[in-house]
Amino acid sequence: LDATGKDIATLKTGTWLNDEVANFAIGLLSQRAINSMPKGETQPKVHFFSTFFINKLYQDSNMYDYSNVRRWTLPKKLKYDVLRCEKIFVPIHQSVHWVLAEIDTRKKRISYYDSLLGESGVAVKNLKRWLIDEAKNKLNEDWDPDEWIEAYPKDIPLQKNGCDCGVFMIKYADYLSAGAELAFSQKHMEYFRRRLVWDIV
């Protein structure tokens, strides 16, 4: 993953994060998850998709197409099974707004974290379709879509401006993947922006 000075500039106060910075931050979280695995383990507890996953799944063509992402999760390529992870995180860019989807494979729940408390049945339902197709393709199992809960958490940290959604999305992924309480707020966003610059550099 690369991040140029132009990309890092999107972390300035009052600026929207771009895909490159978001993916760099998500990549750091993915590396953390792999590094934290016990010695000898090959199956991480969490998996992170890049921001381009949802684009290929349905956004680019405005039509769901599993074949576009089927090879993203080949066990031979990843060295583990994505659906055997406890949680899967999917960053989503909704036009001019960042949100996070969390797939909990144990609780069979898809949660949509939006710092403005918006909801997107389209995103959640397409992720549910992906789960069913992925289970059939990779595990040769028939999963029942009706067993999966769709959730839109409301008691979460919320943004108070129109530019910090990307940072909120990254921190949702950061805290949730670490099993931590979402103990941050708008007042911490400036610090998180500076911290991200430091982490990238």
3-state secondary structure of 90: strand
Give the chain's radius of gyration (CA, Å): 16
Catalytic residue among 7, 93, 97, 174: 97
Q: Give, for 149, the enclosing helix (H) or strand (E).
A: strand 149-151
3-state secondary structure 93-119: EECCEEEEEEEECCCCEEEEECCCCCC
Pair of tokens at residue 8? 């890092």
Q: Which of 188, 162, 154 is nearest to 98 (CA)?
A: 162
Q: Which residues contact 1 (CB under 8 A, 6 or more apart)?
A: 20, 23, 24, 27
Q: Of 103, 105, 138, which Cα lies nearest the Cα of 123?
A: 103
**Catalytically annotated residue among 7, 93, 114, 164:** 114
| Residue 114 is among the residues annotated as catalytic for this protein | yes
Q: How far apart are CA 32 and CA 189, in angstroms?
A: 21
**Catalytic residue among 47, 164, 165, 174, which?**
165
Q: Are 69 and 57 in contact (CB under 8 A)?
A: yes
Give the residue numbers annotated as catalytic, written as ranges. 97, 114, 165
